[in-house]
Chains A and B, each alone.
Chain A
Amino acid sequence: MDPALQLFKWELSQIFLDRGFIAKIIIGMGISLLLLPFLLNSLSSFATNVNTPNLPFVYKIITIGVVGEYPALVGILEGNTLLSVIHLDDEENARRLLANGELNGFLAVSGRSVKFVGNGNPLSSLAELQVREALDKVVKAGSNPDVKVIQEHSIEPFVKGIISPFIIFSPLLLWCLPIIQSISYDRENKMLEALFSLPIDRRKIFLAKVFANLAFAIFASFVWMLVLGAFGLNFVNFLGGLVMLSAISLLIISLNGLVSTISSNVKNATLASGIVSTIVFSFLFIISLLRINPYLAEFSSVSPVTYISYQVSGILTPFPLETLLLLLLAIISANLLSVAAFSTEKFAFSLNPGIAQLYEGMQELLGKPAYSAFAMGFVAFCLTLPVQVISLGILLFISSSYWIVIFLLAAMEESLKFIPLGVMKPSNWSEGALWGAIIGLSFGICESVLFAPHLEFIPLRAIPIAAHSLFTLIMGAGYGARRPYLGLSIAIILHFVYNETVLSRLI
């Protein structure tokens, strides 16, 4: 038998034989399942609140006072979980409490006249929205409204679709953990040194570890979906759901693998894995939550969480091949980077491996400068995304100025393409220009594949790809001609002008 296959089997058996770990997964599934009946029962309460998304975590954040009698209206207001209703004797008292900030607004009822008084802050306006909705229900009770827009879906499947993924994905994070143990923990305990002395290619060792964890994840996803079905959370397309859950598991496993290969110890790897998983899930959920606004609903289909949400809401949607391709792209990128880092001597024998390993790994693996330049363009792009996301996050707080944003984007992309040139060190301008052009080409292709909204859109991206090659060509030539910062500055300015030209046509 192939030694890599043997290693795969051994790794897989290690996961299954770890009784403690299996028990934790079962407990994790149990905790999630305990919440499921609560979730399904609570959904009926959402069905009555059509306009305002009253989620369980907002409870009585508004206080309103009621002066006078209107039992039908007050009954509805008291049933609203956002509101805390206080009965008051006179309007004078209500005005005093409103001025003190103890009330967000009050209702004064006399005969058939209803008056809402707020104190001019946003919560008063939210309170008025609740009162208007309640009054709407009261005055329309028993009659058919003249105009009412037919909605495609009620809020119930929507909320079920938003909350269910939390329950579905929670145990998933657990079954993606063994890869950290089998890389970082084995490295710390010198187990990897023993493995590296065997006549097996290091790349195969890494892939055996990833596939062993994946095999376990697919098995766990399958069991989990069956159990969820038994508890009332059914997937419309079982196979589609399984493929998507497995793909998300593989993404988390690959990212855990990547952080394990570039972390110096288990502690850092575990922390980094927690942070990376949180970020990935937050972004997938945030993209999926764009459905909350009909105007942005289309964009939410990019997230695999959206597909899972529709699946459990009982809405049959076609399997999103493009989402799967995007996931695969991220998975392949993470694994290529991990293999590069894992194969370096530094990984096995240095005390503090780090991100520089990724570039060194590329050089060690590929040998020829042109090939490694292409691979480094790819690495630069992979690094660009998280760096840009973090920087834009910071920037949105300070300023959302259009000019600063597009300048920052240009500067970050060019700087990250500059680092590989520093590792490769071209000796003259023509060498620098060639390697720079290759780095830019690869960067541009990766960007186009990821940002193209549809696959058939990619050929239209020839101009941005060429532009990236040109900017890095100039930068590389500058680097080769011993004028690195001049080259970088010219590239950033050209990129900035290019961004502005393209964006001014779009907006």
Chain B
Amino acid sequence: MGIGEFAKKEATDLVTDKVFLISILLQFTIISALLFLYQFYSSINNTNFPVTVELDSYNADLVGRLQENGVNVQVRTPEGLTTYQSGVQPARRLGSIRVAFNTSSNEVKSDVANVFSGYAISKIRDAAELVSFEQALEKEGVAYEISGTMDGDFAFLPLNYGLIVPIAIILPAFIVMGFTLQGILVERKTKAIELLLVSPISDFQIAQIKVLPYMAVSTLLSVIWLLFISSRVEVLNIWALAAVAAMFSIITVSLSTIISCTASSVKEANAISSLAGMAIPMLGILPYSIFSPFFPTVIMARVSSSHLGMELALTIAVLGFVAAAFFLAAMLAIRNMRRNFA
């Protein structure tokens, strides 16, 4: 039986596992929920809920901008309220959301109990910021011209590249990490691994059998998720991302191989892997430093959004080097286990 057949058996065992199949459904759910939320956030400011803003004094620029944003404006004058209707038709049959804005103190008064108040406040903030920006440009005598951009709200775009794309790669890698760990632990318990240890297969080949099938399955899943994401939001360099996913999954799978080969009990292996699983995502929230470009999450975000230049290729190469080091360490852990067994 060649190592190809061993690897095939490992991969078949994994993809026919009931829990693994359920985990695929769950990964799908998480990614689609995140995409849904992302699209929802991005489009919410473009939805026209009926908003009425009450101003204490007339400010032509502000009133004009608010009207353009689909807001009805009422200005309080000694004679009563003067209404300036917006030309935009509201999308939903709802009562108007009312907010009062004091232009001298810049304070907003809204109905706290109305969940839509925040929407109205963000409309005022957008209009007010644009007005003050235009006034400041005029005062400083600076002309600002834009071309080649799209209409819409893109402030949430970083969440797509920085969160959804990395999750699509990290999630499968973490799940197969759990399976490798449990697989080796069960084999150690049932003594099935001893057959492999006493066979004439080299340490390098055992490491290949234990790491590569899981890496392949994880990378395949990541590519599927990335293709799904790219059907909604543009994702660049998918094949380079697949290479990054393969490297990342080699790191996680090798790590769990090391843990399961060296741990003295199931309990210990579970606890150490929980710690390792905790530490890896935390890399993603560390502050900026000279090491930031080499963090896996940052590499994933940049590859999915930027042109693949020399600098980016270098960071991918460093990740590949780290993955190779982890694979080597997994091989050493297997050698150590073999020596202890002998």
Q: Give 1 or 0 for each of A78-118: 1 = CB within 8 Å of chain B CB.
A: 00011010000000000000101111010000001111111
A166-185 interface (Cβ within 8 A of B): 166-167, 170, 173-174, 177, 181, 185
A: interface residue count bin: 35 or more
Residues of A within 8 A of B302 (CB): 59-61
Asked whether any CB of chain A lies closer than 8 Å to the CB of B5, the reply is: no
Bound complex: CA A143 to CA B138 (Å): 13
Bound complex: CA A254 to CA B229 (Å): 34
Do A125 and B142 contact each other (CB < 8 Å), given the known contacts A28-B278, A61-B306, A148-B128? no
Asked whether any CB of chain A lies closer than 8 Å to the CB of B282, the reply is: yes
Q: Give 1 or 0 for each of B132-166: 1 = CB within 8 Å of chain A CB.
A: 11011101111111111110101111110111001
A1-37 interface (Cβ within 8 A of B): 18, 20-21, 24, 27-28, 31-32, 35
Residues of B within 8 A of A298 (CB): 115
Asked whether any CB of chain B lies closer than 8 Å to the CB of A279, the reply is: yes
Residues of A within 8 A of B37 (CB): 286, 289
Most B CB atoms within 10 A — which of A112, A136, A267? Answer: A267
Asked whether any CB of chain A lies closer than 8 Å to the CB of B301, the reply is: yes
- Which one, A209-217, A268-276, A335-343, A362-370, is touching chain B? A268-276
Residues of B contacting A: mostly: helix
Do A294 and B298 contact each other (CB < 8 Å), given the known contacts A20-B268, A31-B279, A114-B143? no
Do A293 and B44 contact each other (CB < 8 Å), given the known contacts A42-B288, A45-B288? yes
Residues of B within 8 A of A117 (CB): 147-148
Asked whether any CB of chain A lies closer than 8 Å to the CB of B68, the reply is: no
Residues of B within 8 A of A81 (CB): 288
Bound complex: CA A450 to CA B36 (Å): 23
Q: Is the CB of B274 within 8 A of A174?
A: yes
Bound complex: CA A393 to CA B27 (Å): 10
Asked whether any CB of chain A lies closer than 8 Å to the CB of B234, the reply is: yes
Do A390 and B29 contact each other (CB < 8 Å), given the known contacts A112-B142, A121-B234? yes
**What total count of A-B pairs have CB within 8 Å?**
301
Asked whether any CB of chain A lies closer than 8 Å to the CB of B122, the reply is: yes
Q: Which residue of A lies closest to B236 (CB)?
A: A101
Asked whether any CB of chain A lies closer than 8 Å to the CB of B11, the reply is: no
Bound complex: CA A299 to CA B37 (Å): 14
B266-298 interface (Cβ within 8 A of A): 266-268, 270-272, 274-275, 278-279, 281-282, 284-288, 292-293, 295, 297-298
Give which listed residue, A31, A41, A61, A143, contacts B287 with CB less than 8 A.
A41
Residues of B within 8 A of A166 (CB): 281-282, 285
Bound complex: CA A246 to CA B206 (Å): 44
B: interface residue count bin: 35 or more
Residues of B within 8 A of A282 (CB): 30, 33
Asked whether any CB of chain A lies closer than 8 Å to the CB of B198, the reply is: no
Q: Is the CB of A61 within 8 A of B301?
A: yes
Q: Is the CB of A102 within 8 A of B157?
A: no
Bound complex: CA A274 to CA B278 (Å): 12
Q: Is the CB of A58 within 8 A of B161?
A: yes
Q: Is the CB of A145 within 8 A of B136?
A: yes
Q: Is the CB of B29 within 8 A of A105?
A: no
Asked whether any CB of chain A lies closer than 8 Å to the CB of B178, the reply is: yes
Q: Is the CB of B118 within 8 A of A18?
A: no
- Which one, B72-80, B100-108, B211-219, is touching chain A? B100-108
Asked whether any CB of chain A lies closer than 8 Å to the CB of B185, the reply is: yes
Q: Is the CB of B23 within 8 A of A126?
A: no
Q: Give 1 or 0 for each of B233-259: 1 = CB within 8 Å of chain A CB.
A: 110100000000000000000000000
Q: Is the CB of B122 within 8 A of A390?
A: no
Asked whether any CB of chain B lies closer than 8 Å to the CB of A490, the reply is: no
Q: Which residue of A lies closest to B18 (CB)?
A: A268
Residues of A within 8 A of B163 (CB): 55, 57
Top 5 closest pairs, chain A to chain B, by CB:
A294-B118, A42-B287, A393-B29, A58-B162, A118-B148
User: Could you give 25 example pairs across A and B, Cβ below 8 Å?
Assistant: A24-B274, A31-B275, A32-B282, A52-B155, A53-B159, A55-B285, A57-B285, A58-B162, A58-B298, A61-B161, A102-B307, A112-B142, A122-B154, A143-B136, A147-B131, A148-B129, A149-B101, A149-B121, A173-B274, A174-B275, A293-B118, A294-B122, A390-B29, A393-B29, A397-B28
16 new A-B contacts at CB < 8 Å, known A41-B287, A135-B133, A297-B118: A45-B287, A57-B163, A57-B295, A61-B306, A105-B148, A114-B145, A116-B145, A118-B146, A119-B148, A135-B142, A143-B136, A173-B278, A271-B178, A278-B26, A294-B117, A295-B44
Which residues of A are at the interface with B, using a C-beta cutoff of 8 A? 18, 20-21, 24, 27-28, 31-32, 35, 38-39, 41-42, 45, 51-63, 81-82, 84, 98, 100-103, 105, 112-126, 128-129, 132, 135-136, 139-140, 143, 145-151, 163, 166-167, 170, 173-174, 177, 181, 185, 266-268, 270-272, 274-275, 278-279, 282, 286, 289, 292-299, 389-390, 393-394, 396-397, 507
